Amino acid sequence: MPSVLLPLLLTAAGLLAISGVAKLRKPAPAAAALAVPEQLVRAGAVVELGVAVLVIALPGPGAVVAAALYLCFAALVAFQLRARVTTSCGCLGSADTPPSRVHVVLDVALALVCGASAFDTPRPLAALTHGAGAVVWIAAAAAAWMLVAGIELLPGALSAYRRPAE
């Protein structure tokens, strides 16, 4: 019986892949946010991509590593929020994505999904052997892209909604 966590784990892996590729393409925002050289950001991006592949190839250990990585991301963004950082966290290679509570909640939720997947290990590659599995992969990829849009757009939309009319 396939694990109900498969689509969520694939989404978590997809978001790591999207974030890693974005930072490889545009490391400057993350380098500025972390005050580190761009080469270090690129190395971190390669780690993210490697973890995404590990989640797919060896989902048990990969899920544990991904959970730890997402907890680190949550802690970093929470630290930035506490320090009242208003510039981009650089997580998605964008200079327009400031840290937000939405981002922290998402990172913690994905860490929990990955942690749970370590105990009820989905089999991402085995899912591709039937048509329904391919649909799950496609849906997870779409969900990862929607999470990217949510991280980028939702905080601004929520703060605009709370502003009093002028």
Enumerate the domain spans of the chain. 6-162
Give pLDDT, residue 54: 96
Give pLDDT, residue 48: 97
Q: What is the pTM of this model?
A: 0.86
Question: 4-8, 84-88, 153-157 — which is least confidently predicted?
Answer: 153-157
Distances (CA, A) of 6 to 37, 128, 132, 155: 36, 12, 12, 28
Task: Give the residue from 159, 21, 10 showing the smallest Cα distance to 91.
Answer: 21
Give pLDDT, residue 75: 95
Report the alpha-carbon distance of residue 143 to residue 137 in Å, rounded. 10
Give pLDDT, residue 131: 79
Give pLDDT, residue 78: 93
Give pLDDT, residue 1: 40
Give pLDDT, residue 39: 96
Give pLDDT, residue 165: 61
CB-neighbour burial class of residue 163 (10 A; exposed 0-12, middle 13-18, buried 19+): exposed
